[in-house]
A and B are shown apart, each in its own frame.
Chain A
Amino acid sequence: QKEVEQDPGPLSVPEGAIVSLNCTYSNSAFQYFMWYRQYSRKGPELLMYTYSSGNKEDGRFTAQVDKSSKYISLFIRDSQPSDSATYLCAMSLNDYKLSFGAGTTVTVRA
């Protein structure tokens, strides 16, 4: 069993739709949860970062963590073509070593 499982996708949605991305994890000791966005031929860039259960909003993005269920989600509201990218979930214990999901590729159609 992989330490972090991410819905594989790909996802294709019309502009303006809500995008929902999900990851589950097996190690209950994970404390820090992140979402990275990776455009084609670019490195990942940090999108959202949280360390507690609940929701965190940043503009059109909401990160949700449910530690009891070992489940994290990222929601993108009013999706735009510029949101087309691969989204990677990542998590860590209490150090710099990150465990990544395999990524979900999202295409937002204009």
Chain B
Amino acid sequence: SAVISQKPSRDICQRGTSLTIQCQVDSQVTMMFWYRQQPGQSLTLIATANQGSEATYESGFVIDKFPISRPNLTFSTLTVSNMSPEDSSIYLCSVVGGGPFGETQYFGPGTRLLVL
């Protein structure tokens, strides 16, 4: 299994500012994923980050709002830009685990963001 850490673990931010969340994995992985977990709602995939290429965003998420970097095979960042209170959520990164299509995933502990 992969060990994943995230920084910061939590933050309180003012609207209009940006926050960059870091995700570090203890082994090299091809694919990393960023999710959002809003209170009482399902985990929602924001984007897939592959090393050496642009991130692939899911419907409803755009690069200007959630720019992602993937400089190497163990690290990725997600930036939440121009934040509003609606961005208050838990942000999680994950990596592929087992299964023929990588459908089992290992998750980081999450970053809890509150936007005032």
Contacts and interface: CB of A to CB of B under 8 A. Distances in A.
Given A95-B103, A98-B105, A102-B40, A42 B110 contact: yes
A32 B101 contact: yes
Interface string A79-92: 00000000010101
Interface string A42-55: 11111001000000
A95 B103 CA distance: 6
Interface in B45-65: 45, 48
A4 B42 contact: yes
Contacts of B104: 34, 46, 49
A96 B43 contact: no
A92 B110 contact: no
Given A46-B104, A96-B96, A97-B45, 11 more contacts: A32-B103, A36-B107, A41-B109, A43-B107, A43-B109, A44-B92, A96-B101, A96-B105, A98-B43, A99-B42, A100-B44
Interface of B: 4, 31, 33, 40-45, 48, 92, 94, 96-110, 112
